[in-house]
Amino acid sequence: MSTGMRSKVLTIDLSRYRYEIQDRKDLFEEWIGGVGVAVQLLKEEFGSDAANIDPLGEDNVIVFATGPFTPAYPLASKTVAFFKSPLTGNLGETHAGGRTATSIANAGYGAIVIKGVSRKPIYIVIDEDKVHFRDGRVIWGIEDSIVAGRIIAEREEGRGIRTVMRIGGGGERLVRYACVTTETYRHFGRLGLGAVFGSKKLKALVIMGRKRYTPADRKKYREVYREIFKLAVESDVMKKYHLLGTASNVLPLNELGALPTKNLTDRRFEDAEEISGEAFAEYNLGRRIACNHCPTACIHIAVLREPYEEEEYFFKTLMVSYDYELLYALGSMLGIGSRDGLLKLIHRVESYALDAISTGVCLAWATEALKRGIVTKDETIVDLEFGDVESYLKAIEFIVKQPNEFYKALARGAEEAANIYGGKEFAMCFGKNEMAGYHTGYAGYVGNLIGLRHSHLDAGGYSMDQKWKGYSPKEVVDALIKEEMWRQILSSLVVCFFARGLYTPEIVVKAFQPLGVEITEDELKKTGEKIYHEKLRLKKELGFTPESLEVPRRVFELPTPLGDLDEKYIREALDYYSEVFQRITQ
Amino acid sequence: MKRLVIKDIEKCVGCSLCMYACARKNAHKPEIGISSSGILAISLSGFERGATIIFCRACREPPCSEVCPTGAMSARKEGGVTFHEDLCIACGNCMKACTIEAIFMREDEKPAVCIHCGYCVEFCPHGVLGFEEVKA
């Protein structure tokens, strides 16, 4: 098939300050783009010794990839990043919006590969066919990623058409769950891409361009574009995201008894109303903004107005982006019931550019560990206590600055810390990745275990739990894998998962046609399956085995909306998954 | 004449759909990208702090037209310019002459300028842009 899309791959070698551009039509034609292509590029770069590559060493490689719908159609606003994760030691995959995807595509690329390690701090500017290596020594050490972003934005060209991806103190100091932030509020959040940037001494990546290409069928292109646009703005498919946003999940999950609270010692939070999407919308929502080339504007920005205690009539006003996962991880999970307090924590995490979910879950584990006497105040330095905003603000700083062995361990993730200090039964990690905010039942937890990213978004198991029909372990595994296979297509296109209701197989096929690509729904699904298999094989090469998967005991100590979970059920599901894994990867 | 106007700049979410619409419509061939876009949305250090949307003001005496050495950027009676692509040598004078920098450089270095057709308004999801009769 002729994809008529961006198929160039830019490879940047930081060890030699060199770059080259290759046309990889072969990859984009076979694997669509995004995840499909990134898996192949990573495999090529890692070679046969993938399992022994140090995630923070010179041999780790970062791949950014976009797909054939960027920037052809709206809501194809995501970029996928692949790397070896310093948090899990296995495959790292994280997606972000902002202006990254369109900037990569408009600069003329389908994917960008970054390898090697710079001798001194640098940042990179990609302006179409040129790559500039900029001295980053002066801005290295600026721990606030918002400030670093502004400085670079002032120095560089491309206002309105560029992306500024950067790390903060978290990435510089190699916190294993540091993120890369783009356009201030969007993140390559999970699995520690920020630490990989930090290890390569790469402070930021700026990308811009005004390259263009034409569709194969001009008239039809305009028509299909308009159809997708209308679906996005006039139908209900995107409604949830543009009204209250994902924060609308707080109250329903709390009512269900599925809102992880105080390190999942509870499943309902007494202050859920206070930190609900409804309350934020009523009292704090200041603006909504959008990712580039998406009409939805799901990015909800709260206004935090803070007085200076020592100075009368002196205020600061911060703009803080919130989403459900942050309200859970830094809210209910830490027992934070005040919106202002919660916004302060989010802002602190944002400044240091850490993954909010991992940070919250790590702190929740530390709080319980202190409470149980597994660690003492000698380790935690501050009296961590559920609901205590000030202590958590300090603890977040300690995770970044790592003043003692305890915080050095905590900066490696909750499971790593629990391996040293104990308390693994309440370190809420799956495949070493800190859990998202869904204590919904079997499908959610099995999904966290078997998902290729150990992320709730791999297959949306939490949603299956909420439509539960007494599935068997085998049925759950099969359904999760099937959904994850389709999501490989969405993340190869690359469209936002929030638009999964819009980009149905039928629409995807239709959208391909004006671009000169004829593909059937069946072929699409088969490609999804193939990509899933390839990714699983890569995971195996990186050292993953299903037998290593464990479930923190805490999950079984607290009923879910489906009732008490039976460990045997999950064991059975994992045994069956092991068979599937063997079959696919042998 | 009808012109592209800003109805409420505070509602701009920074989605850039206007830019993509312009490139689909404004070029001889509908293009994928923003190369031929005659409109640009920029933020005040982040769209949460507000936006500026830059496009041709349809001047009665357009400086861009006055500095064009080949007559490619000809002034229209009712304000604004008509761009004659075939005459353009891509010298870039017009871009420098525009006080508000509302003429953009395409991939081929020729200018992209708003012709006030109103197509982008259909794709502005939040009513920031309007297309209205304006007294000259």
Q: CA-to-CA distance for A286 and A302, rounded, in angstroms?
A: 5
Question: A137, A129, A187, A133: which is closest to A163 by C-alpha?
Answer: A187
Is position A85 within any domain?
yes
Task: Find the domain containing A553 and state its range.
Answer: 434-585
- Interface contact flag, B16 A214, Cβ < 8 Å: no
Average pLDDT over residues A546-552: 94
Residues A567-574: contacts with CB under 8 Å, at least 24 apart: A569/A442, A569/A473, A570/A442, A570/A445, A570/A446, A570/A449, A570/A473, A572/A473, A572/A474, A573/A442, A573/A446, A573/A450, A573/A473, A573/A474, A573/A476, A573/A477, A574/A446, A574/A449, A574/A450, A574/A546, A574/A549
Q: Percentage of chain B with pLDDT > 90?
A: 88
Verify that A379 and A506 share a domain, yes or no. Answer: no
Do the beta carbons of residue A295 and residue A229 sit within 8 Å? yes
Q: Say whether pLDDT at B45 is over 90.
A: no
- The residue that leads in pLDDT, A175 or A239, is A175
Residues A268 and A409 in one domain: yes
Sorting pLDDT into bands at 50, 70 and 90, what band is B28? low
Q: Give the pLDDT score at A2.
A: 34
Binary contact (B107, A210; C-beta < 8 A): yes
Residue B13 has pLDDT above 80, yes or no: yes
- Interface predicted TM-score (ipTM): 0.95
Examine residue A235 and state whether it is found in any structural domain, yes or no. Answer: no
Amino acid at A302: A
Task: Tell whether the model's pLDDT for residue B85 goes beyond 90.
Answer: yes
Question: pLDDT digit string (tens) for A450-472?
Answer: 999 999 999 999 999 999 999 99
The mean pLDDT of A29-56, rounded to a whole number, is 97
Contact partners, residue A194, CB within 8 Å, separation at least 6: A167, A168, A170, A171, A175, A177, A178, A179, A180, A188, A353, A354, A355
- Which pLDDT belongs to residue A174? 98
Q: Could you tell me if residue A143 is inside a domain?
A: yes
Predicted confidence band of residue B135 (pLDDT cuts 50, 70, 90): confident
pLDDT digits (tens, 9 = 90+) for A419-434: 999 999 999 999 999 9
Q: What is the structure's pLDDT at A73?
A: 97
What residues in A contact B43, CB-CB < 8 Å?
Answer: 160
- Give the pLDDT band of residue B68 (cuts 50, 70, 90): very high
Model confidence pLDDT, tens digit, residues A279-315: 999 999 999 999 999 999 999 999 999 999 899 999 9
A182/B contact by beta carbon, under 8 A: no
Q: What is the mean pLDDT of chain A?
A: 96
Half-sphere CA count of A172, side-chain side, radius 13 A: 24
Interface test with chain A among B19, B32, B95, by most A beta carbons within 10 Å: B32
Domain presence at residue A416:
yes
Instruction: Return the pLDDT at A332.
Output: 98
Burial class (CB in 10 A: 0-12, 13-18, 19+), A501: middle
The pLDDT-based confidence of A1 (bands split at 50, 70, 90) is: very low
Residues of chain B that touch chain A, judged by Cβ-Cβ distance less than 8 Å: 13-17, 20, 23-24, 27, 29-36, 40-43, 45-49, 104-107, 123, 125-126
The CA distances from residue A317 to A2, A349, A396, in Å, are 51, 17, 21
Q: Given A71, A99, A319, which is nearest B20 (Cβ)?
A: A71
A376 and A470 share one domain: no
- Cα A313 vs. chain centroid, distance in angstroms? 39
Domain containing residue A194: CATH number: 3.60.9.10
User: What secondary structure does DSSP assign to A2-40, as a single string?
Assistant: ---S--EEEEEETTTTEEEEEE-HHHHHHH-SHHHHHHH
Q: Tell me: the pLDDT tens digits for A80-90?
A: 999 999 999 99
Minimal CA–CA distance to A135: which of A206, A203, A199?
A203
Please give the average per-residue pLDDT across B48-68, as a whole number.
95
Question: How does residue A509 score in pLDDT terms, banded at 50, 70 and 90?
Answer: very high
Position B26 scores a pLDDT of 66
Rounded mean pLDDT, A97-108 = 97
Name the packing angle between helices A473-493 and A442-450 (round to 10°). 60
Q: How many CB atoms lie within 10 A of CB A400?
A: 26
Note whether residue A314 is domain-resident: yes
Q: What CATH code is carried by the domain that includes residue A495?
A: 1.10.599.10
CB A103 within 8 A of CB A203: no
Find the closest chain A residue to B40 by CA distance: A160
| Single-letter amino acid code for the residue at A131 | V
Answer whether residue A365 is part of any domain.
yes
Is residue A289 less than 8 Å (CB to CB) from chain B? yes
A292 contacts in B (CB within 8 Å)? 14-16
Give mean pLDDT, residues A37-49.
Answer: 96
- Write down which residue in A164, A192, A208 finishes a domain: A208
pLDDT tens-place string over residues A356-412: 999 999 999 999 999 999 999 999 999 999 999 999 999 999 999 999 999 999 999
Whether the ω angle into residue A71 lies within 30 degrees of 0, i.e. cis, is yes
Residue A167 and residue A198 share a domain: yes
- Distance, in Å, from the CA atom of B60 to the CA atom of B72, rounded to the nearest integer, reads 17
Helix axes A473-493, A567-585, angle to 10 degrees: 50
* pLDDT for residue A237: 83
| pLDDT, position B134 | 87
Q: Phi, psi at residue A299, to the nearest 5°?
A: -80, 110
Q: Which 8-state DSSP code applies to residue B9?
A: G
Q: How many residues does chain A have?
A: 586
A395 within domain boundaries: yes
pLDDT of residue A285: 97
Tell the burial category of A297 from Cβ atoms under 10 Å away from its Cβ (0-12, 13-18, 19+): buried
Per the domain annotation, does A225 fall within a domain?
Answer: no
Q: How many domains does chain A have?
A: 3
Question: Does position A202 have pLDDT exceeding 50, yes or no?
Answer: yes
pLDDT of residue A175: 98
pLDDT single digits (tens) A226-254: 999 999 999 888 887 779 999 999 999 99
Q: Which domains does chain B have, with CATH numbers?
A: 2-127 (3.30.70.20)
Nearest to A64 by CA among A18, A29, A99, A26: A99
Identify the H or E element spanning A65. Answer: strand A61-65
Last residue of a domain, one of A152, A184, A208: A208
| A84, A166: one domain | yes
